């Protein structure tokens, strides 16, 4: 009866929020509030106007952001981002680049910096991440963006670590995931980084998928694109022994 997941945003929590994009943050926020959705921040509250944070039924923060004007997306909402706090971006950004993401936007403030990373199609050239054009480019994307938040100073603080969402008493955020053509090859590429795995492809009963660790210890699921059968099951079970 008293069970609750830990939604993040307490002391040293790593997971921050997910985000959805829409054409009109004010109208969508009003519609959600009329339907009984609670808000951490309404669009006109605080210093940062025009964005909102709704609370889902478990208390996770859901940021509502405005799309770029040039996006022309038909969906009312699209899943826009997942935000994770990282200890050292000089380590985390290259790790996610090794998984195929591109740094598409970078913002630096007095005490924190933001790094937005996304899958960019091979025929698309992203503008420099610190340019004015990067803001519009990032806002126009339909696919989700990984937002890495770095609070300055954590990279030099001895013993500093974020809670990653999978420890007792702090369980809530589970993992992010990447689709790949070859799970074994992707894991072999990550192995030399020395960050370790929660589960290698042949560990456990669910064969063919893996969970790697990123530099902060977040779980990163490695999933075969298209799955292993005609219903895209992302794993296979070892036949029972006779």
Return the active site residues: 63
> Across the strands, what pairs with 39?
54
Name the helix (H) or strand (E) containing 135.
helix 132-140
C-alpha–C-alpha distance, residues 32 and 21, integer Å: 14
Helix runs in 77-182, H state only? 89-98, 132-140
Look at the alpha carbons of 180, 181, 184, 186 in this order and tell me if their dihedral is positive or negative: negative
Instruction: Compute the C-alpha angle 198/204/209, nearest 5°.
Output: 65
User: Cα–Cα distance between 53 and 42 in angstroms, integer?
Assistant: 7
Name the DSSP letter for residue 87: S
The token pair that represents 29 in the structure block: 């926020």
Pairwise CA distance, residues 169 & 227, whole Å: 33
d(CA 5, CA 7): 6
Closest CA to 191 of 221, 207, 212, 170: 212
Spatial separation of the C-alpha atoms in residues 188 and 204, rounded to whole Å: 18
User: Residue 112: in which H helix or E strand, if any?
Assistant: strand 112-118
């Amino acid at each position: 009866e008293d069970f609750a997941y830990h939604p993040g945003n307490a002391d040293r929590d790593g997971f921050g929020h997910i985000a959805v994009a829409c054409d009109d943050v004010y109208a969508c926020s009003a519609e959600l509030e009329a339907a009984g959705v609670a808000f951490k921040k309404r669009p006109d509250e605080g210093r940062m106007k025009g964005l909102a944070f709704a609370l889902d039924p478990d208390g996770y923060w859901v940021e509502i952001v405005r799309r770029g004007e040039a996006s022309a997306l038909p969906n009312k909402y699209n899943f826009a981002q997942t935000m994770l706090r990282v200890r050292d971006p000089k380590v985390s950004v290259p790790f996610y680049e090794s998984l195929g993401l591109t740094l598409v936007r970078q913002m630096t403030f007095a005490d924190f910096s933001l790094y937005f990373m996304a899958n960019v199609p091979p025929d698309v050239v992203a503008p420099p991440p610190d340019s004015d054009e990067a803001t519009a480019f990032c806002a126009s994307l339909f696919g989700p963006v990984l937002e890495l938040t770095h609070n300055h100073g954590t990279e030099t603080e001895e013993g500093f670590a974020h809670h990653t969402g999978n420890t007792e008493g702090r369980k809530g955020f589970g993992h992010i995931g990447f689709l790949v053509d070859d799970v074994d090859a992707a894991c072999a590429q990550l192995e030399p980084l020395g960050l370790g795995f929660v589960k290698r492809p042949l560990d456990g009963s669910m064969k063919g998928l893996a969970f790697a660790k990123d530099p902060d210890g977040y779980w990163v699921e490695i999933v075969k694109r298209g799955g292993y059968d005609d219903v895209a099951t992302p794993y296979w079970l070892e036949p029972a022994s006779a």
